[in-house]
Amino acid sequence: MSNPNFEVDKPRRALPGPGSTPSHRLGASHLQSLLRRALTVVVVSGIAAVGVVTFTASANYSTGTAFANNGPLGISASATSTSTPTPDIPAMAAARARTLAEAKAGTDEAVAQAAASARASALTDNAKAITTESDRLKNLSKFMWPTDGSVGSGYGMRFHPILHYWRMHDGDDIGGACGQPIWAAQSGVVVKAEMGYNGGSGNNVRIDHGDINGVDVQTGYLHMSRYVVSVGQHVNQGDVVGYVGDTGLSTACHLHFSAYKNGSGTDPMEFIGWNKEAKKAGDNQVKDAANN
């Protein structure tokens, strides 16, 4: 417990050292020492103060410079200047649309050109087919004489030389030597090729010449010694289809030449007799065969 009689504010006196004489005055050396200490404190304090002021100013300058170089979000100007620019989405979309449109236009043009080429080719083929058919129709009415010789017995009713009664003779008998060639009177497709007696027709062939002026026309070749064509075969006018014989109900080698319109028998002279070129064509065939 503190002494109440102790006076805090009462100055204390330094105790004199042993053998010293008490004195109330500071010595000169002691005073100089105190002054030097005080000056040192003042100098050190001044340097510290200057250092603090300098550091603060430098920090403030650096901070200001840093904020000056940064953008509103703290991004440096140098970083902003070197960063990738934001892509222009509408411009990119428009460029893509143009590219697609150009590609589609190119594809459409290629398709159109291919279609036009195919159409032109088809038209060319059709034109050729039409020309061929036109030529065929023009020549269909011009039958040629089917073998060398003249008509010995014509189309119509006659007294049969073997059966000895009157009956319809449904063709023209064209005389000729046995084995001489028989030619297709007109181009067409073989629809019958038969061997044997065949009701008196003997070895015979029938050719379908197709539509002629709205009528299906066929020709028949009877009493052949043999034929050299088959059913389904296409033959051209003048092709050899067989050879003259006397098979079936026959008295001598000859060709029984018949014609049919829509399946019914008709006078073959409608095709070979009224055609002035028919006999001439047959004669030419004979000459050509002789020369070969």
Question: What's the token pair of residue 252?
Answer: 């001598």
Contact 207, 235 (CB under 8 A): yes
Report residue 40's pLDDT band, with 50, 70 and 90 as the boundaries: low
What is the model's pLDDT at position 163?
Answer: 59
Q: For the chain, how big is the Rg over CA atoms in Å? A: 67
> Is the pLDDT reported for residue 286 higher than 60?
no
3-state secondary structure of 150: coil
> Is the pLDDT reported for residue 38 higher than 50?
yes
What is the model's pLDDT at position 48?
Answer: 44
- pLDDT > 90: percent of the chain: 29
* pTM, rounded to two decimals: 0.50
Burial class (CB in 10 A: 0-12, 13-18, 19+), 45: exposed
Report residue 131's pLDDT band, with 50, 70 and 90 as the boundaries: confident
> Is the pLDDT reported for residue 190 higher than 90?
yes
Max intra-chain CA distance, the chain: 205
What integer is the mean pLDDT of 166-185?
A: 84
Higher-confidence residue of 147 and 137: namely 147
Report residue 109's pLDDT band, with 50, 70 and 90 as the boundaries: confident
Integer Cα distance of 22 and 24 in angstroms:
7
- Encoded amino acid at 285, one letter: Q
Report residue 142's pLDDT band, with 50, 70 and 90 as the boundaries: confident
Report residue 34's pLDDT band, with 50, 70 and 90 as the boundaries: low
> Is the pLDDT reported for residue 59 higher than 90?
no
Q: How many CB atoms lie within 10 A of CB 232?
A: 9
> Is the pLDDT reported for residue 95 higher than 80?
yes
Q: 195-219, pLDDT tens digit by residue?
A: 999 888 999 999 999 998 899 999 9
What integer is the mean pLDDT of 171-181?
A: 90
What is the model's pLDDT at position 57?
Answer: 43
Integer Cα distance of 112 and 282 in angstroms:
53
> Is the pLDDT reported for residue 71 higher than 50?
no
